C-alpha cells in the first residue's frame, strides 16, 4: 500500500550510507547459501518453452512468502499486430504465464524500478555430453552447472535476494519495485511485451542477464524465421527428374550467408557496432528434411535468426529478408525448381535498443558496482550484445532506461552451462546497492519495532 511521501525522507537519491551498505552486503553473504539453494531449485525445473509452469509456481511461492503482491499474467495473443512490442505467436500460451510481484513502499520517495528476469530456457541438447545432467544442478568448485543456471535463473535469484538483503539490513525501500518473472524471452519476447502492454512501467529496468558483470550498451534487433522448401521427391534412379528439397535448402542457406555479410558490412556506420565482429550472426538453429533414406527429399525446413542494428525497423528488415530469399530462390538453378520458399516468422521480430550514455540509472549502477566490489572493483565496462534481450521491449516501447547487467556465466545455450557463484554473489551485492540507491531506503518500520523491544 502506498502512503503519502514524507518530506524528511524524500528524496533519498544520494548514495546509501556506508553503514547501511555494509549491513546490506553482510546480509547477502549471510543468505548466499540459501540463494544458491533457491537457484538450484529453479534450475531443477526444465522450463523449456511451454513448460514454464513449474518454475513459475516456485517463483510465485517464493515471492508470496516475502509478502509481495503477486499475480499471474497470461499473454494475450490478440495483442499481436495491435501492440508493437509483440512478435508473432505460433504456439498456445495456455501453460505459459508471467509472474509479477509488486512492492509498494509505505513511504514514497525514490525512483521506481522493474527487476526483470526470464525463466524460460533453451533445450539442453544431448544430455550425455554434459558433465552433469542438465537439469540436475551441480556445484563444482566455484561454478553451478545446469541449463538455465546462467541464462538467467542466477539473475532472477540475484534480484530476489538483493531485495531480501535490504530488508534484512533493517531498511525499507521508498519507491515501488516490480519483479517481472517472464516467459518467452528465448523465442519471441512476448512475455516482456505482455508485461509492458499491461501498463507496467517504471523509472528504470534492471535485467540481470549473464553479462560477465558488464553493462549492455546496445543490443541488436533480431528476426527469427523458418523457411520451408518443397522439392520434387524421386527415387534415386530418377535423380535428374526430382529436386531434392534438402539440396535446395543447403543452397539457400549458402545464399543467406551473403545476406549476413551484407548486413554485417553496415556496421561501419553504426554507433557502438563498428567493432562488433559479427553483428548479424546468421544462425541456422535447426534443420529437418526428407522422409526416407533412399528417396529424394520432398521437403526441408530450417529455422534461424539474423540480427541488425538499433534504430532499424524490424519489419523493414523482414521485408528485406523476404525479398532476398525470393530473389536468391529465383536465381538459383536448383532452388527455382522448388515451389516458392515458404517463410514463417516464428519468433522475435524486434528492434534493438541503445542505452544512451550518461543516464542517471547508469551512474547509479556504476557507483553500486564500485561499492559492492570495493576495494578491488574494476570500473564498470559497457559492451554491445549482438542478440535479442527483453530490455529492448522496455527501452524501445516503454522509453525506460534499461540496464542489462549480470553474473559471469559460461556456455549459455551450450553444453555444461554454468554460472560463477562468486560472480553471482558480487552481482547480487551490486544489484542490492543499486536498488537501495535508486529507490531510496529508510529504516524499516518493523526493524524499528524490533530495536524498540
Q: Which residues bind a second copy (CB under 8 A)?
A: 122-126, 129, 151, 186-187, 222, 224, 226, 230, 232-240, 242, 244, 246-247, 250, 253-254, 277-278, 281, 283-300, 302-305, 307, 346-347, 385-388, 411-415
Residue 435 grid coordinates? 536498488
Q: Which is nearer to a second copy, 54 or 295 (CB)?
A: 295
CA atoms of 239 and 408, how far apart (whole Å)? 52
Q: How far is the CB of 133 from a second copy (least distance, A)?
A: 15
**Phi first, then psi: what are they for 226, rounded to 5°?**
-130, 135
Backbone angles phi, psi at 407, to 5 degrees: -80, 170
Q: Minimum CB separation from a second copy for residue 118, in Å?
A: 13
Nearest distance from residue 362's CB to a second copy, in Å? 21
In terms of CB distance, is 13 or 383 closer to a second copy?
383
In sign, the C-alpha dihedral spanning 412, 416, 422, 428 is positive
**Bridge partners, 302 (sequence order):** 227, 287
Of 112 and 220, nearer to a second copy (C-beta) is 220
Kindly give, in sequence order, each residue whose CB lies less than 8 Å from that of residue 84, ignoring residues fewer than 6 positions away: 397
Nearest Cα residue to 120 out of 175, 179, 49, 20: 49
Least Å distance, CB 412 to a second copy, is: 5
C-beta of 254 vs 446, nearer to a second copy: 254
Q: Are 399 and 136 in contact (CB under 8 A)?
A: no
> What is the C-alpha to C-alpha distance for residues 158 and 355, in angstroms, rounded to an integer?
22
Smallest distance from the beta carbon of 4 to a second copy, in angstroms? 46
- Give CA–CA dist 136/344, Å, rounded: 35
Closer residue to a second copy (CB): 293 or 452: 293
Q: Which is nearer to a second copy, 20 or 416 (CB)?
A: 416
Q: 231 near 298, Cβ under 8 Å?
A: yes
In angstroms, what is the minimal distance from the CB of 116 to a second copy?
Answer: 19
Amino acid at each position: 500500500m502506498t502512503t503519502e511521501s514524507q518530506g524528511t525522507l524524500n528524496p533519498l537519491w544520494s548514495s546509501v550510507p556506508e553503514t547501511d551498505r555494509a549491513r546490506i552486503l553482510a546480509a547477502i553473504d549471510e543468505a548466499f547459501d540459501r540463494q544458491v539453494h533457491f537457484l538450484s531449485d529453479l534450475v531443477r525445473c526444465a522450463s523449456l518453452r511451454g513448460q514454464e509452469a513449474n518454475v513459475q509456481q516456485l517463483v510465485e511461492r517464493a515471492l508470496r512468502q516475502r509478502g509481495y503482491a503477486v499475480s499471474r499474467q497470461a499473454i494475450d495473443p490478440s495483442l499481436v499486430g495491435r501492440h508493437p512490442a509483440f512478435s508473432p505467436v505460433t504456439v498456445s500460451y495456455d501453460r505459459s504465464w508471467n509472474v509479477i510481484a509488486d512492492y509498494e513502499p509505505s513511504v514514497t520517495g525514490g525512483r521506481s524500478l522493474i527487476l526483470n528476469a526470464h525463466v524460460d530456457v533453451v533445450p539442453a541438447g544431448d544430455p550425455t555430453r554434459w558433465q552433469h545432467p542438465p537439469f540436475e544442478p551441480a556445484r563444482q568448485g566455484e561454478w553451478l552447472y545446469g541449463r538455465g543456471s546462467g541464462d538467467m535463473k542466477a539473475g532472477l535469484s540475484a534480484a530476489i535476494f538483493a531485495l531480501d538483503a535490504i530488508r534484512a539490513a533493517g531498511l525499507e525501500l521508498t519507491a515501488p519495485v516490480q519483479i517481472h518473472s517472464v516467459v518467452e524471452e528465448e523465442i519471441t519476447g512476448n512475455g516482456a511485451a505482455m508485461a509492458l502492454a499491461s501498463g507496467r512501467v517504471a523509472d528504470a529496468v534492471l535485467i540481470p542477464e549473464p553479462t560477465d558483470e558488464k553493462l549492455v550498451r546496445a543490443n541488436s534487433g533480431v528476426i527469427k524465421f523458418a523457411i520451408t522448401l518443397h522439392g520434387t521427391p524421386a527415387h534415386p534412379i530418377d535423380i535428374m527428374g526430382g529436386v531434392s528439397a534438402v539440396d535446395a535448402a543447403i543452397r539457400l542457406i549458402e545464399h543467406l550467408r551473403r545476406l549476413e555479410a551484407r548486413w554485417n558490412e553496415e556496421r561501419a556506420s553504426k554507433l557502438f557496432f563498428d567493432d562488433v565482429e559479427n553483428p548479424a550472426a546468421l544462425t541456422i538453429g535447426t534443420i529437418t528434411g526428407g522422409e526416407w533414406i533412399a528417396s529424394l527429399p520432398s521437403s526441408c525446413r530450417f529455422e534461424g535468426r539474423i540480427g541488425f542494428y538499433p534504430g532499424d525497423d524490424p519489419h523493414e528488415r523482414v521485408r528485406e529478408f523476404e525479398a532476398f530469399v525470393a530473389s536468391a530462390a529465383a536465381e538459383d538453378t536448383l532452388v527455382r525448381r522448388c515451389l516458392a520458399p515458404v517463410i514463417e516468422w516464428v519468433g522475435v521480430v524486434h528492434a534493438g535498443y541503445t542505452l544512451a550514455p550518461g543516464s542517471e540509472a547508469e551512474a547509479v549502477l556504476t557507483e553500486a558496482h564500485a561499492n559492492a566490489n570495493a576495494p578491488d572493483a574494476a570500473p564498470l565496462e559497457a559492451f554491445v550484445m549482438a542478440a535479442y534481450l527483453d530490455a529492448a521491449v522496455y527501452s524501445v516501447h516503454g522509453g525506460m532506461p534499461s540496464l542489462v547487467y549480470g553474473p559471469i556465466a559460461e556456455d549459455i545455450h551450450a553444453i555444461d552451462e554454468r554460472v560463477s557463484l562468486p560472480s553471482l554473489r558480487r552481482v547480487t551485492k551490486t544489484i542490492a546497492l543499486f536498488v537501495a540507491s535508486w529507490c531510496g531506503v529508510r529504516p524499516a518500520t518493523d526493524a524499528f519495532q524490533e530495536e524498540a523491544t
